[in-house]
Amino acid sequence: MGSRYVKRALDVAGLLKERSLFLFGPRQTGKSTYVREELAGLPSLSYNLLDTGLRFRLMADPTLLRQEIMAKKLKDCVVFIDEIQKCPALLDEIHLLIEERKIRFLMTGSSAKKLRSAGINLLGGRAASRHMHPFVYPEVEGESFSLQKVMDRGLLPPHYLSKTAEENLHSYVDTYLIEEIAAEGQARNLPAFARFLQIASIANAKMINYTNVANDAQIPRQTVKLWFQILMDTLLGYELSPFTMTEKRKSIETPKFYFFDLGIVKTLRGLGKISPESADFGEFFEHYLFTELKAWVDYKRPRTKFCYWRSQSGYEVDFILEGNTAVEVKACKIAHDKHLLGLKALREEGIMKRFILVCREDRPRLLDGIEIFPWQYFLELLWSDEIIKKA
């Protein structure tokens, strides 16, 4: 990222005033940089478990953490541990120090899976959990921001800010996604895992069909299910649950899958520029709005219900927030009645309080009782907490 730092939308300092915190996120989302830039001076003590020597010493004797804290007579302060999943045994010591010395720990990592697989219960509720996402709209809006740039690079900080974004994206996919995530999932067959990732990227923003992915990737269905779970455990992808509370039209109950970043999908598919004229633009536009909504939920309203709706007869609404706000995404420049069919079908259920179509129009307007929002306007309202209708 060079010397430039972009202030992030997640308020970790506020959370740490009350309790310890796990901050998880894929590699290069900016967790360590965030701590260094925005929490400078807050931690009384820091441990970077990427330091092999330090990690081996703590793995051999986790009580060294408590010994150093006791020696420094630390109490009621913040201690930072980077890459906590590399030494899960430390969590027993952390648990004790939270109880006995009121220390608040900030623990970052790329996966909670290793902690859970080690039999760790993530401190039994003594620590909150947040996810770090790639950049979001309020962090990068301004003169240098463009939707085209997002489509072509994604929003991972090193890629979005880089002059060699395409090269960095290929490196990320080849080195991290294929080699390290394959190791995380105990995938011995790297070519098969690479093939799976390519097929999964084609299935991005669609309902998950394990059988079809297995057939296309030429691997067993159970392996596909395992590898999708690995992507979700490492926060490289998300499952979007279906909304099933409709009565007039029976809902499909199959979840959808989205990768965490557009640039990764573009690279896995080997696509060129995602221009408005390209066949993939509509999907990428929807995917971008998903990433903003998912980050908003995780940063601002972690308990918000976030899902989608599709009827068995084919009507669909891209996103449902809190069971009362329906959001459809269309890449059109001018919205017409045909773009409102899903929202109108859902409106007949009498469940929702607000219906929004997000598109590329220039100004907000009302069409047949449905709010038509330019995507920038929608994101401004979203991050100002003005989208969900109060009950």
Computed over every residue of the chain, the mean pLDDT equals 92
Residue 4 lies in a domain: no
Do residues 93 and 227 both lie within one domain? no
Of all helices (H) and strands (E), which one includes residue 23?
Answer: strand 20-24
Dist. CA 371–CA 366, nearest whole Å: 5
CATH number at residue 18: 3.40.50.300
Report yes or no: 214 and 220 within 8 Å, Cβ to Cβ.
yes
Q: What pLDDT digit, counting tens, does each position of 334-387 carry?
A: 999 999 999 999 999 999 999 999 999 999 999 999 999 999 999 999 999 999
Q: Which of 103, 132, 161 is the last residue of a domain?
A: 132
The token pair that represents 56 in the structure block: 């081996």
Enclosing domain of residue 216: 138-383
Looking at residue 351, its pLDDT comes to 95
Is the pLDDT reported for residue 118 higher than 60?
Answer: no
Report yes or no: 35 and 43 within 8 Å, Cβ to Cβ.
yes
Q: pLDDT-based confidence at 124, cuts 50/70/90?
A: confident
DSSP letter for 187, please.
-
Do residues 86 and 216 both lie within one domain? no
**Is the sign of the CA dihedral 186, 173, 302, 329 positive or negative?**
negative
b/e per residue, 111-129, with b = 16+ CB within 10 A?
Answer: bbbbbeeeebeebeeebbb
Average pLDDT over residues 240-248: 96
Looking at residue 391, its pLDDT comes to 43
Do residues 100 and 152 both lie within one domain? no
Q: pLDDT-based confidence at 270, cuts 50/70/90?
A: very high
Report yes or no: 299 and 9 within 8 Å, Cβ to Cβ.
yes
Is the pLDDT reported for residue 217 higher than 50?
Answer: yes
pTM summary value: 0.94
Domains held by the chain: number? 2
Do residues 53 and 177 both lie within one domain? no
Q: What pLDDT digit, counting tens, does each position of 150-165 carry?
A: 999 999 999 999 889 9
Is the pLDDT reported for residue 183 higher than 80?
Answer: no
Do residues 116 and 165 both lie within one domain? no
Do residues 160 and 121 both lie within one domain? no
Calculate the CA dihedral of residues 342, 257, 128, 62 and round it to 10 degrees. 180
Do residues 162 and 91 both lie within one domain? no
Dist. CA 221–CA 119, nearest whole Å: 27
Do residues 124 and 188 both lie within one domain? no
Q: Which of 72, 104, 132 is the last residue of a domain?
A: 132
Q: What pLDDT digit, counting tens, does each position of 313-332 carry?
A: 999 999 999 999 999 999 99
Report yes or no: 156 and 29 within 8 Å, Cβ to Cβ.
yes
Do residues 85 and 171 both lie within one domain? no
Residue 243 lies in a domain: yes
Average pLDDT over residues 70-92: 94
Residue 277 lies in a domain: yes
Residue 373 lies in a domain: yes
Looking at residue 198, its pLDDT comes to 96
Tokens 């907490």: give the residue. 385
Do residues 128 and 154 both lie within one domain? no
